[in-house]
Amino acid sequence: MEAGRIHYITIRGVKGNPPEAGQKWNSPDLEAGLKLVALFRSRKYGNQITVADVRNFNQGISGCEPELQLYACLGSNSKYTEIRFGRFPRKRDWVVRPERKMRYLDKYVEEHQGRLAGIHDWLDLRYDELHVSPN
């Protein structure tokens, strides 16, 4: 069997220190970051996602910024694209469902010949339709 290439996504901004070796890391922001990363596991364009940013989880920095963001990049020297995910729904919540957000990205990638990164500065998934930066 031939070895395959492994793509890792960095989860940035987890608050608190990691637990001692062998102990579970109970961190809601880390859990949200892992859940976010899992959404891209089966997507062909998942290898363009380089960072999942959880610094603003539960509006820890700003109530005006998305709680979760992603960054997509095609190579170390290429332009990145910020993906404003928002947050996962909570009980009796009206935020856009993750499945719908992923359909926005699927369609975007299809329209851009498989590219998610480097075309626009940002993509915002928090609304009833995909919002794209004016480039």
Q: Are 122 and 106 in contact (CB under 8 A)?
A: no
Global confidence as pTM: 0.90
pLDDT at residue 29 in the model: 96
Structure tokens at 132: 């794209």
Tens digit of each residue's pLDDT (9 = 90 or more) over 2-21? 777 788 999 999 998 999 99
Domain locations in the chain as residue ranges: 10-132
Tens digit of each residue's pLDDT (9 = 90 or more) over 76-120? 778 899 999 999 998 888 899 999 999 999 999 999 999 999 999
Tens digit of each residue's pLDDT (9 = 90 or more) over 43-89? 999 999 999 999 999 999 999 999 999 999 998 778 899 999 999 99
Q: How many helices, marked H, and strands, marked E, lie in the chain?
A: 2, 6
The residues that bridge with 81 in the sheet, in sequence order, are 72
Provide the 10 A C-beta neighbour count for residue 115.
15
